[in-house]
Structure 1
Amino acid sequence: MFVGEKLCIARGRPTGFDYLRVVLSVLVVWIHTARVVYGDDLFFWQTEFRPFLKSVLPMFFVLSGFLVAGSLERSRTLVSFLGNRFIRIYPALAVEVFLSAFLLGAVFTSLDLSLYFADPEFLRYLVNVTGHIHFSLPGVFVNNPDAGTVNIQLWTVPYELECYIVIALLFLFGVVKHRILSVVAAVGCPIFYGIVRYWRHGQDWANFPTTMSGNLLICGFLLGIVIYLYRDRIRWDPYLFAVAAASVLCAYWYTSFGDFLALPGLAYVTVFLGICSPPKLPMLKGADYSYGIFLYGYPIQQALYAMGPLGQTWFLNGLLACALSAVFAAFSWHFVEKPALRLKPVVIAVEDRWIRLRAAILGDAEVEEAIAPGGVVRVD
């Protein structure tokens, strides 16, 4: 059976992707317990669990690339594609940033509130909503082991934005019609990145002591796109899954540059698991709490540590943080993310106006007449 056939059987997005996103989000919280409680997670990455820890974020990006490629294929123009990406990502990020700055920071700062809100560092933190990331707020968590860090997880945001830039460029070059372009990009990017690292770091070019480099996360995103576009050629096979999983383990355990070698196998493992269709739990039907857990997990962990001994044990910190971040994730989904998704008709209306305007300017009467609100005519 091919990946595309498996997708058709699922009749929509397979539930495996929903479970996978939640599991990966929760794993991010648990991985961060060492950093929060001990101020150093390096020992985590030097254990035999390294392949599993290092796989979490790349799997997130592969998953995103696969699903976003489907959204790209269904989009008529970049207006709807980027518009839908914006309303899915930005509102929740903006709310998290403002809650961290105005509520969490105000509670945990060691400064007087007048000094806190007047500090330039406070204003710099608000710039996180643009993707220009700052990790600290004035006087907040300064006595924690990971001193001064409010939300380390935001480091991936610029790379997520770069992924959308990359896929938008591929769209303009016609990647949906000429899918070989996705292969060229997915192969060329890690080669180019490896050359740049060698030029900058010499003999240490392949040393990645902790999490995978952000640039390689983009490569994982591209591999997700490749698998989606070639879903009619790539088989969904348990034996291939076993081989891919073994290649990931061997790459991380037995080579110093496993971050490069593991990516193809990791991409297949991610999509294989994602297009499985286990029954969906009632509490997850019509909801996606993964983004909220991802956004709120680290600030909650830092707050738990600052509040006293209960949050200063790694196990209890992780357990409590998962529970509380799930609560905030539910808030984020029901009051921010889901309402924002109701703006999709607005995005489609703006796109229709853009297509008509373009048709009028270019004198393309046939396109102008064919377009109706919610129409399906594609203009590349």
Structure 2
Amino acid sequence: MTSSEGGARTIGQRVAETGGRTTGFDYLRIGLALAVMVWHSFPISYGKPFETMVLGGWARPTVAFILPAFFALSGFLVAGSLERNTSLLRFAALRAIRIMPALGVEVLLSALILGPLLTTVGLAAYLSDGEFHEYFLNVFGIIHFDLPGLFETNPIPRIVNGQLWTIPYELECYAALAALAALGLVRRPVLMLAAVTGLQLALMAITYQPIVFGSPLPELGGVFSGRLLVMSFLWGVVLFRLRDRVPFSGWLAAIAAAVSVALMLVPLGDALAALPIAYAVAYLGLQQPRSTPIVALGDFSYGIFLYGFAVQQTVASLGAWTHHWYLNLALAVPLVTLFAAFSWYGVEKPALALRKRLSVLDPVDAWIGSAQGRLGSLAPWARTEGRDGIGA
């Protein structure tokens, strides 16, 4: 529908039309999680040189778009959650119960079942190795990729959970959003836009400073900086908070996607790609295609992300005959889907049920609010209910 005043329809109007619940975001989550597996099937099958070749060539945007899109999607949805929640403390607790239980179970299964089954060292040596002990720090976002004696002869040797490198940046995103909320900027979208724009300019300055001072332009390559992930998340938040002022346009989304691709084909262009990626993702997510069992059965995307790499590495360890990307996917995807279903029904969904018990935090939240009042805080976080149902 079009605005009654004849103006362009906005993202906010689209959110209101859909009641804040769209299958577009559901399909995007699953699609992006599977896209990560598709990409990983190549280096897992052919090794690091293949990864370097792809990331230095024309196909780079097809890979480099995936994770920033995931983070932009998260930012858009999490902004809705923050807007609806009555306290920053409750918001932090919600993020913790969404991330930590499933991550913890995956880490435990990798270390205590997968490791002992596949390690090339004795069980006693495995359990006493420092790598084994350090691996449990993954639960807290302190990432360790290796377990003793695992995947030693794989095309990508030793790495058990290569995808976990993004977890610290996800935690950084939540910390940045919490800081913006504590400063009151989430309640003031224009000021938040200014703050995120400032961060974007700082990223650009850091990225391009060596070139300004005479360093040669680097060759195209590398997936991207983790800073791109954080900026994609923050621009997703900004688009949600400014939803009543941002047009909802297919043409604009197509232009944004094209600009993103072009920037990712230019050395250091990633520093500018976060905003167009976030807009393209928000537009796609706000579509409403027909629901199918792919999304109706549950949100398997986090489980696919968590278990994909370890299962694909396990497949690759079966022998050289599996070292073809299509065989890796054919064997790994069904197994990963089963693990993702277990993660959703056995861990994530029960953990999310704990949301009803977060009222136990109310006395602490009241004390924090009282302390803020005594300090004369000029920027308390939002305490009003949001209008829309976006986020969780």
Same fold (TM over 0.5): yes
Displacement after TM superposition at 1:90 (Å): 0.5
The answer to whether structure 1 residue 321 and structure 2 residue 332 are counterparts is yes
Match of 1:37 in 2: 45
- Show the 5 A alignment for 1:253-292: 253=265, 255-285=266-296, 287-292=298-303
SS at match of 1:32: helix
User: After the TM superposition, which of the residue ranges 38-47 and 213-222 deviates more from structure 2?
Assistant: 38-47
Match of 1:370 in 2: none
Match of 1:372 in 2: none
- Show the 5 A alignment for 1:131-280: 131-198=141-208, 203=215, 209-253=221-265, 255-280=266-291
Contact 1:17-1:275 within 8 A present in 2 as well: yes
Match of 1:13 in 2: 21
Write the deviation string for residues 112-163 of structure 1: whole angstroms up to 9, x where unpaired.
1111011111000111111000000011111111111001100000000000
In structure 2, do the counterparts of structure 1 residues 362 and 219 end up closer, same or farther at CA, with 3 Å as the change threshold?
closer
Equivalents in 1 of 2:225, 2:197: separation in Å? 16
Match of 1:330 in 2: 341
Equivalents in 2 of 1:361, 1:215: separation in Å? 33
Contact 1:35-1:145 within 8 A present in 2 as well: yes
Match of 1:369 in 2: none
Contact 2:89-2:365 within 8 A present in 1 as well: no
Match of 2:80 in 1: 70
Displacement after TM superposition at 1:355 (Å): 3.6
Write the deviation string for residues 67-105 of structure 1: whole angstroms up to 9, x where unpaired.
011111111111110000000010000001111101111
Equivalents in 2 of 1:265, 1:183: separation in Å? 15
User: After the TM superposition, which of the residue ranges 94-103 and 49-58 deviates more from structure 2?
Assistant: 49-58
Unaligned 5+ segments in structure 1 are 365-375
Equivalents in 1 of 2:293, 2:154: separation in Å? 38
AA matched with 1:95: V
User: After the TM superposition, which of the residue ranges 27-36 and 335-344 deviates more from structure 2?
Assistant: 27-36
User: After the TM superposition, which of the residue ranges 33-42 and 43-52 deviates more from structure 2?
Assistant: 43-52
Q: In angstroms, what is the RMSD of aligned CA positions? A: 2.1
Displacement after TM superposition at 1:165 (Å): 0.5
Write the deviation string for residues 317-365 of structure 1: whole angstroms up to 9, x where unpaired.
0222222111110000000000000100112x1232224445677899x
Displacement after TM superposition at 1:193 (Å): 2.5
Equivalents in 2 of 1:303, 1:51: separation in Å? 28
Match of 2:377 in 1: none
Write the deviation string for residues 45-78 of structure 1: whole angstroms up to 9, x where unpaired.
2333221211000000100110011111111111
Match of 1:346 in 2: 357
User: After the TM superposition, which of the residue ranges 146-155 and 29-38 deviates more from structure 2?
Assistant: 29-38
Normalized against structure 1, the TM-score is what? 0.91
Match of 2:379 in 1: none
- Which of 52, 62, 71 is the matching residue for 1:61? 71
Contact 1:208-1:259 within 8 A present in 2 as well: no
Contact 1:185-1:222 within 8 A present in 2 as well: no
AA matched with 2:14: K
SS at match of 2:317: helix
Equivalents in 2 of 1:302, 1:38: separation in Å? 12
Equivalents in 2 of 1:48, 1:200: separation in Å? 25
AA matched with 1:106: P
In structure 2, do the counterparts of structure 1 residues 168 and 327 end up closer, same or farther at CA, with 3 Å as the change threshold?
same
Contact 2:146-2:158 within 8 A present in 1 as well: yes
AA matched with 1:257: L
Unaligned 5+ segments in structure 2 are 1-8, 375-382, 386-392
AA matched with 2:43: R
Higher RCO, Cα 8 Å, sep 6+: 2
The number of aligned residues is 365
